[in-house]
Amino acid sequence: MRQIIALLLALVAIPTSAAGIATPPRPTRAAAPLKPRIVWDPIPFGNQRKQEMVAYVRRHYGSFMRPTWRLTDPQVIVIHYTDSPTFQSTWNTFASDTPDPELHELPGTCAHFVIDTTGTIYQLVSLTTMCRHTVGLNWTAIGIEHVGFSDAQVLGDQRQVTASLKLVYWLRCRFHIQIKNVIGHNESLSSPYHHEDVASLRNQTHSDFNHADMQVYRRRLRALGGCAGR
Ligand SMILES: [Zn+2]
């Protein structure tokens, strides 16, 4: 009986160091978010499209940066919905590299990620390549599209929004992007990173993911936790 009690006491004993001093509790730290499962399904982004992107950067951002197709040190994540019914239709539009119907410019529009209604995360473009998805912010923004027709539809689809939040949590920690810089397309004009050299486009934005809906999104993102070591 005494042996059993001794064993039980040993099992519950407070861990001590070799010197017999109680080990201080470790400071609690936010764990690094896990990378979610991402399906790599690239659109063609060859030399011609890269040169079209360089020319776009020269026209739209030439006053403050060297023309390039490379995305370096992104500071913003922009949330969109596709306004189209399927992942495949979105992929086809982004892959085509034809002038967009609204601004009639090249390269064609695209986004780095598209999240399907099933919750599957597709990556279409490397994170070191610029995509045209948000006027004024393409030079520094990662674009994330959601298959659907409204903010409410995406926010109400638990599989889709859960996948979206996991992806953005991982991305924002990887690139040290603040939660306030995870914005909806409709918030683009109020971003401190918004710069547009073409005067007629300085107030151009879209209606997808407005401020009220992004407050909901950012609250849920914040609830996932901070980034390790920060
Ligand atoms: Zn958009």
Are 206 and 132 contacting, i.e. CB atoms less than 8 angstroms apart? Answer: no
Confidence of residue 229 (pLDDT cuts 50, 70, 90): low
Q: Does a structural domain hold residue 228? A: no
Q: Which residue bears the tokens 């953005």?
A: 168
For residue 198, the CA-to-ligand 1 centroid distance in Å is: 19
d(CA 66, CA 68): 6
Domain that holds residue 167: 35-223
For residue 134, the CA-to-ligand 1 centroid distance in Å is: 7
Nearest to 160 by CA among 44, 82, 63: 82
d(CA 5, CA 227): 43
Number of domains in the chain: 1
For residue 66, the CA-to-ligand 1 centroid distance in Å is: 25
For residue 39, the CA-to-ligand 1 centroid distance in Å is: 21
Query: Residues, the chain, total?
Result: 230
Report residue 26 as tokens.
């470790």
For residue 184, the CA-to-ligand 1 centroid distance in Å is: 8
Q: Does a structural domain hold residue 30? A: no
Query: Rounded mean pLDDT of 61-70?
Result: 98
Percent of the chain with pLDDT over 70: 86
pLDDT score of 30: 61
Q: Does a structural domain hold residue 13? A: no
For residue 220, the CA-to-ligand 1 centroid distance in Å is: 20
Are 209 and 186 contacting, i.e. CB atoms less than 8 angstroms apart? Answer: yes
**pTM of the predicted protein model:** 0.87
For residue 206, the CA-to-ligand 1 centroid distance in Å is: 6
DSSP 115: E
Residue 103 phi, psi (nearest 5): -110, -10
Q: Does a structural domain hold residue 202? A: yes
d(CA 198, CA 137): 13
DSSP 62: T
**Residue 208, domain CATH:** 3.40.80.10
For residue 111, the CA-to-ligand 1 centroid distance in Å is: 9
pLDDT score of 228: 82
d(CA 26, CA 14): 14
For residue 99, the CA-to-ligand 1 centroid distance in Å is: 16
Report whether pLDDT(209) > 90. yes
